[in-house]
Amino acid sequence: DLAGAALEVTDLKAQAKARHALPPFTTSTLQQAASSALGFSPGKTMKLAQSLYEQGLITYMRTDSVNISEQARAAAKDYIAANFGPEFHPATPNFFKSKADAQGAHEAIRPTDVFLAPQTARDGGMDATELKLYDLVWRRFVASQMADARTTVRTVSLSARKPAISHDYLFTASATQIDFEGFLRVMNLAAKKRRADGEED
């Protein structure tokens, strides 16, 4: 039915959107992210997290809270301003709400020292497998304290035009333009690093 039909642009929309960073990890969200991003089983993730915790590199790994201490929040602000620029830190700090039944005895899972970036840890000889999980925790925490990403989503609508066409056909396509990276900067850096290393992105 569409053979020989012409496509005509019938609508073009541009919509500004803000993307918010996800909260820092809890036990369950760390396990989910490590499974999807790294292919780790929950058991392997917890074993590696236990090791990182015992080395004093991350906070306690069994928690259902997304709370962050004021000291950690202030350190993250200093790191973000020094490494990305003050505009990458939100005017009002990001706070995340834990579930109603969360214990709250522990913080979210985060690096104990935000200034120990994954590259520094790699240069320091951290175990390669542990480094992958540390990198995940570190990026998620830093991103959670950064400003929103601002994007423009453009959607174009196209209609098929042809004499004696049987149906009305409408096609749409969307593209997202990043106007301000915000928290995506720390995620994008990691993606570029993986590509540079020759690993699958």
**Rounded-to-integer distance, Cα 96 and Cα 73, Å:** 12
Supply φ then ψ for residue 129, to 5 degrees. Answer: -70, -40
Residue in 9, 21, 19, 8 with CA at minimum distance from that of residue 153: 19
Asked if 20 contacts 31 with a C-beta cutoff of 8 angstroms, the reply is no
Q: Burial of 80 by CB count in 10 Å (0-12 exposed, 13-18 middle, 19+ buried)?
A: buried
Written as one letter, the residue type at 115 is F
Which among 53, 60, 79, 169 is annotated as catalytic?
60
**Rounded-to-integer distance, Cα 142 and Cα 83, Å:** 11
Tokens of 30: 């760390």
**Rounded-to-integer distance, Cα 145 and Cα 58, Å:** 17
- 42 sits in which H/E element: helix 42-54
**Rounded-to-integer distance, Cα 104 and Cα 118, Å:** 27
CA quadruple 102, 104, 109, 110: dihedral sign: positive
Question: Is 53 marked active-site?
Answer: no
Q: Would you name the residues annotated as active-site residues?
A: 60
